[in-house]
Amino acid sequence: MKSIVVANWKMNPVTMREAKKLFDATRKAAESAKNVSLIVAPPAIFLRELRARYKGKRIAFAVQSASAEGGGAYTGDTSLLQAKDTGAQYAIVGHSEQRAKGETNETAGKIVAAALVSGVTPILCVGERERSHNGEHFTVVKEQLRAAFANVEPGKVTKVLVAYEPVWAIGGEKAMSPRDMHEMTIFIRKTIVGLKGEAGMNIKILYGGATTESNALPMLKESGVQGFIVGHVSIDAVRFAILMSSIS
């Protein structure tokens, strides 16, 4: 099975011109990484033009956030149907940087449900802000999953990609250990099976948080994840190419 990489560019780069340059390098990296399906999540404002430049099949596009609302008086928001019309097949939901601005577990649940109705695949991010030794992070993740899957029919469960992103690892160079992630993949599967039944066993799980060219391969081999959300390394064309070839 191909692994999945989501290149989360966040609020980068500054100009369309730079975005095109980064995209061209990203495309080259994707073309030589035959075992990887790449999803590029640029700032929404660049998405349509990048989509138009791309004629291949290996790269899909995502928005980094979207509203659950269909339209109306929501200044600054983008609807899922607008995202789809722009060329996005995926939407990141519940990223910790959106949660920090007020997105709640319940909002994330509404966006997941709306995405499935709109025919956009949600990439649901979960993960604790801090880790203590008493296992509280499992409670946090369980509650995030419960709310996010609340309105998902059992038949649609595998249409949601789950990305576990420990917030304390994001932006750094040191990812969680594959062994700890393995424990988390088992926990996530078990939780979704508990909520939605056996289909939960087949859910795809990604890891995000300081994924680099040196830790991606061991994580892929040892933790039971199907791929990654890559943040800052995805906007460094050289490092990203090495990362992609390391797992292909």
How far apart are CB 234 and ligand PGA at their closest, in Å?
7
Tell me which residues in 181-210 interact with ligand PGA (CB under 6 A): 208-210
How far apart are CB 34 and ligand PGA at their closest, in Å?
23
Q: Which is nearer to ligand PGA, 54 or 207 (CB)?
A: 207
Determine whether 182 is an active site residue.
Answer: no
CA atoms within 13 A on the CB side of 80: 24
- Which of the following is catalytic: 95, 128, 213, 232? 95
CB 143, CB 112: distance < 8 Å: no
Q: If binding is defined by CB under 6 A, does position 170 make contact with ligand PGA?
A: yes
Q: If binding is defined by CB under 6 A, does position 232 make contact with ligand PGA?
A: yes
DSSP string computed for 138-207: HHHHHHHHHHHHTT--GGGGGGSEEEE--GGGTTSS-PPPHHHHHHHHHHHHHHHHHHH-GGGGG-EEEE
Q: Which residues make Cβ contacts (< 8 Å) with residue 169, sequence separation at least 6?
A: 175, 176, 209, 210
Determine whether 232 is an active site residue.
Answer: no
- Which of the following is catalytic: 103, 165, 213, 232? 165
In angstroms, rounded to a whole number, what is the distance separating the alpha carbons of residues 141 and 40? 25
Select the residue interacting with ligand PGA from 3, 4, 7, 8 (CB under 6 A). 8
Q: Which is nearer to ligand PGA, 60 or 210 (CB)?
A: 210
Q: Which residue is nearest to ligand PGA (CB)?
A: 231
Q: If binding is defined by CB under 6 A, does position 227 make contact with ligand PGA?
A: no
Select the residue interacting with ligand PGA from 71, 171, 194, 197 (CB under 6 A). 171
In angstroms, rounded to a whole number, what is the distance separating the alpha carbons of residues 149 and 139? 15
In angstroms, rounded to a whole number, what is the distance separating the alpha carbons of residues 178 and 125? 18
Q: If binding is defined by CB under 6 A, does position 229 make contact with ligand PGA?
A: yes
Taking residue 129's Cβ as centre, other Cβ atoms within 10 Å add up to 12
Task: Please give the positions annotated as active site.
Answer: 95, 165
Which residues contribute to the site for ligand PGA (CB under 6 A)? 8, 165, 170-171, 208-211, 229-233
